[in-house]
A = this chain, B = another copy of it.
Amino acid sequence: MIKVGIVGGTGYTGVELLRLLACHPEVSLQVITSRAEAGLPVSDMYPNLRGHVDLNFSEPDIDALAQCDVVFFATPHTVAMATVPELLQRGVRVIDLSADFRVKDIALWERWYDVKHTCPELVTDAVYGLPEVNRAKIRDAQLIAVPGCYPTAVQLGFLPLLEAGVVSKDGLIADAKSGTSGAGRKAALGTLLTEASENMKAYAVAGHRHLPEISEGLNHIAGQTVDFTFVPHLTPMIRGIHATLYSTLNRDVDLQTLFEQRFADEPFVDVMPVGSHPETRSVRGANVCRIAVHRPQNGNTVVVLSVIDNLVKGASGQAIQNMNIMFGLNERLGINTIATLP
């Protein structure tokens, strides 16, 4: 059994980790910390866990965490980078769901997050936990930076096109639509039901914090600097990201075959049949990215539709997928659940 700790378990990625790990046959949940809720039974905050998780939130305690085999950070940015160095030193492997170790360009990261990075050397060591790109490195990683939700949906959708070099490096566009759980579990005006339901809007068109992460990832995949525009939208639903990706073909190619071959061995990417329109609900609660590729009117514009559950393949599920790889388990273990539909 893998001894697992969670730091910052009160948010949505935290409860999703708990939901999935509680049913994982090789995991023993040891500790879940929350400074604000220390002492509270986890299931008092999340009644869906009643009868399944009987831990209490505890004060963050490095010694308790150090007895785990792996610690997940489901915290706001800057929390992980304060604690991770010591955990690594004490031999604990770390899977960080926050943004602290995702962007290799430290200066860029510091500009977007408006804070000084306290352990830039660990950023270099950290493995970007997108298994479809970095599986081999993940196996031996001590520190995983789990990709953000938008970055997962966008990079997986562009992956076959950029790797094969069949689209122009200019004019890449991601028009992404997210449910409001992406904003996290915190009191806020803009994501009240009264404000966000029966409504659709773009936000952060001038620049979203996931932009540098996605750009760096796309550049890495393409092997060159690409020109990328990212427009996120807030959609009146709880879970789900639908990324609609646009690029310009630079040669004739069988797109369907390209995508099917690229993901043939991937346990959690499902290339749908020609002409499909994947729905976010078809991945709700499941660790899957479903993708369809279109070439409207047989023109030069490629349209990729990529859907994930932002809390699963876009966060906690992918984190556990990384853990399975790191510990040599079957990659599907504990996260092979079926989306609830309707």
Contact = CB atoms under 8 A, between A and B. Distances in A.
A104 interface: no
Count copies of this chain in the complex: 4
Contacts of A231: 244, 296, 303
22 contacts: A12-B342, A19-B340, A47-B272, A48-B286, A48-B340, A50-B282, A52-B338, A171-B171, A171-B248, A175-B246, A185-B192, A185-B194, A187-B192, A191-B192, A197-B238, A198-B240, A198-B284, A200-B237, A205-B294, A206-B294, A236-B236, A238-B342
A261 interface: no
Interface in A20-70: 22-23, 46-52
Most chain B CB neighbours (cut-off 10 Å) among A15, A183, A301: A301
A218 to B, nearest CB: 14
A233 interface: yes
Given A12-B194, A187-B189, 11 more contacts: A19-B340, A48-B339, A173-B173, A175-B244, A177-B235, A180-B192, A185-B195, A187-B187, A193-B238, A199-B279, A201-B242
Interface of A: 12, 15, 19, 22-23, 46-52, 171, 173, 175, 177, 179-181, 183, 185-189, 191-203, 205-207, 227, 229-231, 233, 235-240, 242, 244, 246, 248, 270, 272, 275, 277-286, 288, 290, 294, 296-297, 299, 301, 303, 305, 307, 337-342
B50 A270 contact: yes
A307 B9 CA distance: 26
A212 to B, nearest CB: 11
A46 B189 CA distance: 13
Contact of A188 (B52, B187, B237, B294): B187
Contacts of A338: 19, 22-23, 48-49, 52
A58 B237 CA distance: 35
Closest 3 CB pairs of A and B: A48-B339, A175-B175, A199-B281
Nearest to A274: B206
Contact of A205 (B12, B177, B284, B303): B303
A239 B240 CA distance: 17
B48 A282 contact: yes
Contacts of A48: 281-284, 286, 338-341
B242 A279 contact: no
Contacts of A281: 48, 198-199
Contacts of A296: 205-207, 229-231
